[in-house]
Amino acid sequence: MKSRYFYQLLLIILLISIPPLLLWNIYATNSFVAQSTTLINEKNEHELNRTGYLMNRTINQIKEIAMSGLNVDIVGDPGDLSIVDRLNTMDKLSKLVASNEYLQSVYLYNALDGSMLASDYGIVFQLDRSGYRWIKQHIQNMAINKDLQMTNTRLNQTNNTYTVSLVLNINTIKQKHQYLIYNIDIEKLYNDFFSRLNVDSEIYHYYIVNRQGEVIFPLPPEASESYASDQPIQYVKPNPERYVSATRYQLPGLQWTLVGEVDTQALYQGVDAFKKRMYVLTIVIVVALAGLVFIGSRQLYKPIRYLTKRFKQGWQQEPADVRQADEFGFLHSTFDHMVDSYTELNQRLANSQSLLNRTQLYYLMKTRNQTADYKSIAKAFQLEGSFVVFVFKMNGADAEWSYDMLREDLEKRFAVSERCEMFSDEQECFAIIQLRETELNGLLVRILLLMDDEMLQRISISAGNVYQDLAQLHESYTEAKYAYQVGRMYDTEEHIYCFNKLPMDYHKPVMEELSMDALEHAVRQQQADDYAAMLNRLFRDDTGIMEYNTNFYMVLSMLRKMHDREEVSFLHEVNELIANNSIMNNVTLKSFFMDQFKLFAQDSKSAASEKDQYMKRIERYVEANYPGSFSLDDVSDEVGISKQYICQLIKQQYNITFIDYLNQYRIDQAKRFLESGPMKISEVYAKVGFNSYSYFSKVFKQYTGLVPSEYRELSMSRERTTS
């Protein structure tokens, strides 16, 4: 039974898979036809352009030969010529015929007496009774001297070839009413140029039409049979709807047009029938499959009944009404349970993602991370516009009150008026508050209004600076920490500290004869003796307490700004110094400041070495890639630093922008190419990475004062002078 059911199921699966395969075949066939048509059009256009170009050159040569007949010295009228003159004239006409392989013959016709001299026959007097009767009809509209006109296609029954004639009016003072008629073998001309293209004449059709849209060649057999040989054949291509793909090429020499057509019905013969069979087969299989499923539905339902029975046996915790329900009712309740489980999992995932985002925000505030995805974090917390970090510290030990409790209390107070994210650990509570405006004073007022006197006595509040970029989150946090540490040391009675309001950060002279600029200069220039002498003057034994404290905080603030390192650790060092040794201990204090002096030297050397490495990598990248096109983003990805830092390094090294540096390098290479060899200027500008000569010339003149051609001439002149 199991084997029988398995084979039944396998058969149904196979039948289900057949209709998509058939539909895919139909789609693939349509795609093939569309792509083939596109390729054939491209091939047809390319071949027709090449053939048309060569054919137009030949037609122009024939036209030049025809116009050269104006310079042929004709002795007199054909009927009045002597035998010798007649032979000489026929010889001249034969030379015109021999100058091009597609000229069959040339006639000299006199309209006054109706006589004509043919290069391949001789003298003809009665044109009305011959195959030349069309000549009189054609020259009636040729009153203009030196006029050159083309006739329609005619069938020459003498050699059974198709001919097109060029009629030239050569009226002069001596010879009046005379015409030169050049007979072109249009059949030979067509076959020579289209022999390779007409490989399959049932599919590909190439023909020539005149400016009236009439077909010049080739003509169908019925067209030649329906006209007399001395009359022009005028034939317009019938039933053009059959040829759905066509390309054209203009032949301006004789105002003809080459037309190439593809008979797509013949090309894709059988494709439509194949698609119809596919459609019919698909419908038959779908109907058969529906009937089979309908007939065998009870047999196929057995596994579902078996599975639901096993589920019921293992799902005893379900209510009785669910367990006693039929199979489909049981499946419905099972799916409901799955949906509820899925919703619960999604909620857990959302909570986990929220916790992860808060953790990332916490560590971004605590540490400086250059590789963090600040945009995603700002989007997750909707931190748009200005923000500032506040740090809340408890004054003294309070066993009944932890920082988590402080955070919960502050969240309740801020929930009404401020948008903020609050965190707490064992040492402090801090908040990222989004400002309604960039002014910090209004926020400070609102926070004070939220606090009662008891709360203000129990905690200290410190704030950093206001920023718009989340990458500066840690900066605001360290500034808040610094404001708390330094402000508390400066005034122990105040419990609110703001970084931009600390008195020790004011830029003012410490002493009349000494400023922080001089002290900073000594640090940056590593002038140890001058630095030590300034410290001795700032922290003398006879210095007053207020002046001593002011000097201490000013030097401390100056060092904090100069050091490019973790500010929190620096503040911890200061706190340890104050806790273990009073800041009034001159020896300890000066020793601490001298240690910071040495540490700055180490940091500067390390930073300088790193900058040198980055500059070498930037220069190597420009040297390797200057001939091509690249952006500052490409350099940033290769070197591994930001675009802003690259521009900063270039500015420090060369005092120019990155674009100026790149252009200068390219111009230097261009000067080398202009000086070293015979390379064309049009090759030089592309070789050094410029897209156009005009822009290259403009930049070259900007950097050298000369255009490239003038520079090359000056360089060659210098070489000649030196040699």
Mean pLDDT of 206-232: 67
Among residues of the chain, what percentage have pLDDT more than 90? 1
Q: What are the residues whose beta carbons fall under 8 Å from the beta carbon of 137, sequence distance 6 or more?
A: none
- pLDDT score, position 703: 83
Q: What is the 3-state secondary structure (H, E, C) of 207-271?
A: EEECCCCCEEECCCHHHHHCCCCCCCECECCCCHHHCCEEEEEEECCCCEEEEEEECHHHHCCCH
* Tokens found for residue 315: 């799902």
Give the pLDDT confidence score for residue 506 in this predicted structure: 39
**Calpha distance 704→358 (Å, rounded):** 57
Angle between helices 545-562 and 473-490 (to 10 degrees): 170
Containing H/E element for 624? helix 586-625
DSSP 8-class letter at 542: T
Task: Compute the average pLDDT of residues 375-381.
Answer: 80
What mean pLDDT is predicted for residues 308-322?
Answer: 55
Q: Kindly give the pairing relationship between strand 459-463 and strand 496-498.
A: parallel
Most confidently modeled of 267-276, 424-433, 525-534?
A: 424-433
Q: What is the mean pLDDT of residues 385-395?
A: 88
In this predicted structure, the answer to whether residue 92 has a pLDDT above a threshold of 80 is: yes
DSSP string, 388-452: EEEEEEESS--TT--HHHHHHHHHHHHTTT-EEEEEE-SS-EEEEEE-SSS-HHHHHHHHHHH--
In terms of pLDDT, which residue wins out, 6 or 136? 136
* Residue 393 φ then ψ, to 5°: -115, 140
Confidence of residue 96 (pLDDT cuts 50, 70, 90): confident
| Three-state DSSP class for residue 116 | strand
User: Which tops the pLDDT comparison, 598 or 317?
Assistant: 598
Q: Residues 286-298: pLDDT tens digits? A: 777 677 666 655 5
pLDDT of residue 531 exceeding 90, the answer is no
Q: What one-character-per-residue DSSP string does 136-190 give?
A: HHHHTT--STT-EEE--BEEETTTTEEEEEEEEE---SSS-SEEEEEEEEHHHHH
Q: How far apart are the first and last CA of the chain?
A: 105
Positive or negative CA dihedral for 561, 567, 573, 575?
Answer: positive
pLDDT (tens digit, 9 = 90+) per residue, 485-527? 777 765 556 678 887 766 544 334 444 446 677 887 787 777 8
pLDDT in tens, 144-171: 667 788 888 887 766 778 888 888 888 7
Query: Which residues lie below 8 Å from residue 648, measured CB to CB, with a gap of 6+?
Result: none
| pLDDT at position 507 | 39
> At residue 253, does pLDDT exceed 50?
yes
Exposure string of 505-542, with b = 16+ CB inside 10 Å and e = fewer, is beeeebeeeebbeebbebbeeeeeeebeebbeebbeee
Tell me: the pLDDT tens digits for 539-553?
776 666 667 777 777
Mean pLDDT of 672-688: 82
**238 pLDDT band (50/70/90 cuts)?**
very low
- Residues 463-483, mean pLDDT to the nearest whole number: 85
Closest CA to 520 of 491, 489, 557, 469: 557
| pLDDT confidence of residue 306 | 63
- Report residue 244's pLDDT band, with 50, 70 and 90 as the boundaries: low
Helices (H), 245-366: 264-267, 271-295, 297-300, 302-314, 320-323, 327-366
What is residue 118's three-state secondary structure?
A: strand
What token pair was written down for 152? Answer: 């329609």
Burial 99-135 (b: 16+ CB within 10 A, else e): ebebbbbbbbbbbeebbbbbbeeebbeebeeebbebb
How confident is residue 268, by pLDDT bands cut at 50, 70 and 90? low
**pLDDT of the residue at 451:** 84
What confidence tier does 389 reach under pLDDT thresholds 50, 70, 90? very high
pLDDT range class, residue 474, cuts 50, 70, 90 = confident
Average pLDDT of the chain is 75
Mean pLDDT computed over 229-256: 64
Confidence band for 274, pLDDT divided at 50, 70 and 90: low
- Which pLDDT score is estimated for 536? 83
Rounded Cα distance between 217 and 219, Å, is 5
List of residues 6+ apart from 259 with CB closer than 8 A: 206, 207, 208, 209, 246, 247, 248
User: Which distant-in-sequence residues (6+ apart) come within 8 Å of 254 by Cβ?
Assistant: 59, 63, 150
Provide, rounded to the nearest whole percent, the portion of the chain with pLDDT above 70. Answer: 70
* pLDDT single digits (tens) 10-32: 776 776 677 677 677 777 777 77
Instruction: Check whether 585 has a pLDDT greater than 80.
Output: no
Range from 210-224, 324-338, 639-653 carrying the lowest mean pLDDT: 324-338
Reported as a pLDDT band with limits 50, 70 and 90, residue 431 is very high
Please determine, for residue 597, whether its predicted confidence score (pLDDT) is greater than 70. Answer: yes
Report the alpha-carbon distance of residue 58 to residue 64 in Å, rounded. Answer: 10
Nearest to 112 by CA among 76, 144, 86, 145: 76
Residue 564 has pLDDT above 70, yes or no: no
Residue-wise pLDDT for 33-79, tens only, equals 677 767 776 777 787 788 888 888 888 888 888 888 777 776 666 76
Higher pLDDT: 309 or 99? It is 99
How many helices and strands, by DSSP H and E, does the chain display? Answer: 27, 16
CA dist 382 → 268, 356, 365, 368, 434 (Å): 61, 15, 16, 21, 10
pLDDT at 292: 64
Length of the chain: 723
Asked if residue 588 has pLDDT above 90, the reply is no
Residue 109 has a pLDDT of 85
Query: How is the chain split among helix, strand and coil, in percent rounded to 5?
Result: 60, 15, 25
Question: Which of 473-487, 535-549, 619-633 is predicted with the least confidence, judged by mean pLDDT?
Answer: 535-549
pLDDT value of residue 227: 44
The confidence score (pLDDT) of residue 272 equals 65
pLDDT at 350 (0 to 100):
80
pLDDT for 424 beyond 50? yes
Q: What is the pLDDT of residue 277?
A: 73
Indicate whether 213 pLDDT > 60. yes
Quick one: average pLDDT of 595-622?
75
